[in-house]
Amino acid sequence: MAQKIENQYKEILNEYMKKQTEQNLYVGQNFSRQLILENIAPEEVISMHKVAIQELYNELPDVVWHSFDFLIEMMINYGLALQERQSLLKQQEELKVEMELAANVQETLLKTKLPVLEGLDIGLLSIPAKKMNGDYIYFVSEHDGSAGIAVADVIGKGLPAALCMSMIKFGMDSLSSSQALPKDVLSVINRIVEKTIDDSMFVSMFYGNYNAKRARLTYGSAGHEPAILYRAKDQEFTELYAKGLLLGVSPAAVYEEHTVDLDTGDLVMMMTDGVTEGRNEDGFIEREVIFELIERKKEQPAQVIVQYVYDELERMQNAQFQDDFTLVIYKKT
């Protein structure tokens, strides 16, 4: 078979050297496909070319034949490098498929039902920077006019963060009452995280319990980005601080709890640092910029405000978010 291929190549090459037509090139292109099917390596093709040239034009100087030897050695290493690259590309493609599947599973697993509360309009948006989302929103609601909300952020990205979020959901599922106090919820989730998640990973979480009858939000935080309160009457923004260690740091962590009453038109923004730590070519985007965006659309439904903030921050960052974006807005109507 090898001798047959060599003879074919010499004949094709000889015809091309004599005529140099497009038809000759076409024949050579078709023959290259045969070489691929026969699994002929690049260095073997060059060696075959050298033999054919020697038989056809033996009078060429020695330096030409040495150049072929040099090219053959180069192609041996080139072929090995090419095989390694193709192997890596195949692995990357397989990993990409697996990540897409995992992302779909995560989306299904972490779904949560938006509560319906009298006098409260809710808007939310959670978009991962990559395939897997390291942010998490979870609602706990009952028919008594109250609902709990957890906004969590794993310090990390990718598959490990997504797996960590699955454990957070497991913990939240065990807390079925929407009347559970934030300090108690955070303590329970903290113990679960501390026992089940690698020591190198930590989770921040904001937990709020909203009572629609009183229009009162009770909240606590485990090292999470402070929620922001907008008072429509005063047209002022304030941050809702609550002390508390990140989840998973210490099983004995104690969490603060505070309350705030909402009036018509008031907004509460709960978010992850993907919202507040955006960057553009001039540096970090100041919080005042975010406040201004919210104030522009404060009269609109909560979901319109959330989408507007995302669209504007995406524009400012040239569609290059460095972290997962999660924003929830409660609007008292």
> Which pLDDT score is estimated for 208?
94
> Which pLDDT score is estimated for 233?
93
Tens digit of each residue's pLDDT (9 = 90 or more) over 185-228 = 999 899 888 887 777 778 899 999 999 999 999 999 999 999 99
Give 133 or 21, the one with higher predicted confidence. Answer: 21
Distance, C-alpha 248 to centroid of its chain:
23
Record the tokens describing residue 40, joined without a space. 């002929």
Q: Under DSSP, is residue 249 helix (H, G, I), strand (E, B) or coil? A: coil
Output the CA–CA distances (angstroms, integers) from residue 250 to 159, 167, 187, 188, 306, in the order listed. 24, 17, 10, 12, 34
Tens digit of each residue's pLDDT (9 = 90 or more) over 257-278 = 999 999 999 999 999 887 877 6
What's the rounded mean pLDDT across residues 139-160?
80
From start to end of 105-183, where are the E strands? 120-127, 135-141, 146-154
Contacts of residue 265, defined as CB under 8 A and 6 or more positions apart, other chains included, come to: 232, 233, 298, 331, 332
List the chain domain ranges: 1-93, 112-332
Q: Model-level pTM?
A: 0.70
What's the rounded mean pLDDT across residues 239-255?
91
pLDDT-derived band of residue 24, with 50, 70 and 90 as boundaries? Answer: confident
Q: Looking at the predicted structure, is the pLDDT value of residue 329 above 60?
A: yes
Q: Looking at the predicted structure, is the pLDDT value of residue 50 above 80?
A: yes
Please check whether the two domains, 1-93 and 112-332, share a CATH topology.
no
> Which pLDDT score is estimated for 282?
67
Q: Provide φ and ψ at 167, rounded to 5°.
A: -70, -35
Q: Looking at the predicted structure, is the pLDDT value of residue 178 above 70?
A: no
The CATH code that applies to domain 1-93 is: 1.10.1240.30
The CATH code that applies to domain 112-332 is: 3.60.40.10
Query: Strands 146-154 and 203-211: what pairing?
Result: antiparallel
The rounded percent of the chain whose pLDDT value lies above 70 is 87
Tens digit of each residue's pLDDT (9 = 90 or more) over 69-120 = 887 777 777 777 777 888 888 888 877 776 666 666 666 666 778 888 999 9
> Which pLDDT score is estimated for 106?
60
> What does the mean pLDDT of the chain come to?
83
